[in-house]
Structure 1
């Protein structure tokens, strides 16, 4: 197993090096006239970027000092997004490069004008007739113009760099400004009329860590509280780090306010960060952890199961414990981090499962990868008599960037079919 992991890591590093070498060739070497400060600067950026990216990943996974994780996090994780969109932009650039060459060549030809015939001096021999004229051979094609090649390389390279910077910049701004509020109505057959319009604020994948800290947590809390929900559900992946490092960042969660309280279930990243300690910390902050447990609200049951990643620590999901002895005449809403858990939810006759985990793909075209690994990537779906709602999440893992999958906090409004 270790050998397989090492081979995968080595393959990834080779592919990363090849991408950045090609980026240097197209964006630096081909756009400069020779060695000089511009080439040296370009080489430094395209070497430092991937080095910082790998260092940020290793520092986070190895539990390096938190100050070092923070120092490496912003440049390193941002470069992950830069690498992805640099690759896509370079591929697009290679596809359009021949067309740009053709357009530039045609443009230069149209600018050329035929030379005017020189005047014939008096006394010179008359021009030969057309039949006596010597055959004219087509001139050889001119050699490729180095200045034309340089212009094309700069035009395509500039477009590649601008597209990459614009995409990553806008996607990062979207995360830092905080999640938008999304609203969805979900009718439940067993929900009594008295609970019609009950509103649950669903937030997942906040991912507090070296990049997104206390200020981001405060924006999430303020956004949730502004909706005045009846209940708040935090469905996993709250943090990427220990309570020691991120306890201050998570402190604003103590200011969450809802009439029926705030509830929490673990996500897979909690098991990378000390799940037991975080369960105790969120309890101290005023949230109610549902560890394979259920609570009876006035109109329906609210249940929660641990994430699948807990199985490695003997703390995996236990649907029987959470749902086995309940009153089946009552509606039940289940908090479960991963959409994959929907199949067990169906077997236990859950009315609605609330999940996160997918980030909606986070970085296009990551949504296609997420779709291959999850039954639902984002939004509301139905599996038999059970409905599944998947939030795209409030934060971001790795690069603090989202493209094609904007962050959200969802207000799920329950509707009674008896109303």
Structure 2
């Protein structure tokens, strides 16, 4: 087992090293002169940024001082997002590069010859008629193409990450989805559940982010609020003040919470106790009767290692099957259990909708639904993209959301 872990670590280091070498080669070595200040500065950044990124990842799980986590998080995590889109843009550049060289060569074949780079050219002094020698630096075609492609790749990556960061810091937008439930009584028609998941309070997204989420939810005037896991990335000691705005959540039937996998990285028992102090009602493999339906919640599968995983029999086993049921479960992968227990609607998060394109393609490999509403037998599954972000505070083609689910009775 230890050998396997070591091999995985070495493989990860090799992949990260190769990615940074490739970026350095295309953006630094190919675009600058040997020994120039630009090359030295670019090389220094190519060494520093991966160190910051690894540092940000390492201190978050090592219990390092929270101040150190905050110092490393912004540059380290943002660089990971920039690196992703640099690699994608440079990959496109590999296709464009030979085409651009060919185009320049074709244009040059019909023009006057251009002196080689750095050659001395004769100049005539108009006043004296004497001939002087001047050095004119003409970039080679290869260098010109390297700079154009590298500059375009850098602009595309920075622009993409900048816009994706703005989307996260701006806060989630509200989505409204109507879900008909066959067993829902007419009296509960139009019941509104505000679903929020993956807020991810941590060293980057703090109290102001929590306040934006609360304000957005309260503005929808929901009947019930469901916080579906991954509220935090850190301990109650470090993030308790950041979570305080949650005490301001307002809904006629209250606010409910279930754990996500990140709670089990952060001290789940302490967070369950803390959210209860803030006025939320944790559903730990439990359920409550709401007007017209049963609301159940199960622990995240991440709690299985601590003996606190999901228990569907405890949460749903002895309920009246004639009543409509809504299940809060952080990860969509438990949908089969929901179907077997006759759940009408499961509300989940976890996927972030992929967060960083093309992450949605990867998320599809391990999740039945990445985002939105889908049906599995008689059970409907709704997956929120979440209100925050993990790692890089960036979202690309996966905007953050808070969803207002309006339950509809077929008897209405």
- TM-score past 0.5 threshold: yes
User: What is aligned with 1:3?
Assistant: 3
User: What is aligned with 1:178?
Assistant: 171
SS at match of 2:411: coil
User: What is aligned with 2:40?
Assistant: 40
2:158 to 161, 165, 187: 165
Please report how far the alpha carbon of residue 5 of structure 1 lies from its aligned counterpart in structure 2 after TM superposition: 2.0
User: What is aligned with 1:337?
Assistant: 330
- 2:370 paired with 1:386: no
Please report how far the alpha carbon of residue 175 of structure 1 lies from its aligned counterpart in structure 2 after TM superposition: 0.5
- 2:356 paired with 1:347: no
Looking at CA atoms only, which structure, 1 or 2, has the larger radius of gyration?
1
Please report how far the alpha carbon of residue 107 of structure 1 lies from its aligned counterpart in structure 2 after TM superposition: 1.8
User: What is aligned with 2:239?
Assistant: 246
Deviations 1:95-154 (CA, angstroms, capped at 9, x unpaired): 1100010111112223339xxxxxxxxxxxxxxxxxxxxxxxxxxxxxxx9621111111
Please report how far the alpha carbon of residue 34 of structure 1 lies from its aligned counterpart in structure 2 after TM superposition: 2.6
SS at match of 2:373: strand
User: What is aligned with 1:236?
Assistant: 229
Please report how far the alpha carbon of residue 386 of structure 1 lies from its aligned counterpart in structure 2 after TM superposition: 0.3
2:356 to 357, 360, 363: 363
- 2:321 paired with 1:294: no
Of 40-49 and 283-292, the range deviating more from structure 2: 40-49
SS at match of 1:373: coil
1:303 to 296, 303, 309: 296
Deviations 1:49-104 (CA, angstroms, capped at 9, x unpaired): 11100001110011100000000000011111112111111111111100010111
- Give runs of aligned pairs for residues 169-248 of structure 1, distance below 5 A: 169-248=162-241
For 1:93 and 1:20, how far apart are their aligned partners in 2?
A: 16
Please report how far the alpha carbon of residue 174 of structure 1 lies from its aligned counterpart in structure 2 after TM superposition: 0.7
1:256 to 249, 253, 274: 249
Please report how far the alpha carbon of residue 33 of structure 1 lies from its aligned counterpart in structure 2 after TM superposition: 2.5
- 2:391 paired with 1:398: yes
- 2:111 paired with 1:111: yes
Of 65-74 and 11-20, the range deviating more from structure 2: 11-20
Please report how far the alpha carbon of residue 215 of structure 1 lies from its aligned counterpart in structure 2 after TM superposition: 0.6
SS at match of 1:357: coil
Deviations 1:367-390 (CA, angstroms, capped at 9, x unpaired): 111000000000000000000000
Preserved CA contact (<8 Å) 2:194 2:404: yes
For 2:373 and 2:290, how far apart are their aligned partners in 1?
A: 23
Please report how far the alpha carbon of residue 9 of structure 1 lies from its aligned counterpart in structure 2 after TM superposition: 1.6
User: What is aligned with 2:306?
Assistant: 313
User: What is aligned with 2:124?
Assistant: none
Gaps of 5+ in 1: 114-144
For 2:33 and 2:271, how far apart are their aligned partners in 1?
A: 56
Gaps of 5+ in 2: 114-137
User: What is aligned with 1:129?
Assistant: none
SS at match of 1:301: strand
- 2:399 paired with 1:414: no
User: What is aligned with 2:122?
Assistant: none
User: What is aligned with 1:85?
Assistant: 85
For 2:382 and 2:55, how far apart are their aligned partners in 1?
A: 36
Deviations 1:324-351 (CA, angstroms, capped at 9, x unpaired): 1111111010000000011000000000
For 1:354 and 1:275, how far apart are their aligned partners in 2?
A: 20
SS at match of 1:372: coil
SS at match of 2:279: coil
For 1:109 and 1:96, how far apart are their aligned partners in 2?
A: 20
SS at match of 1:239: coil
SS at match of 2:361: helix
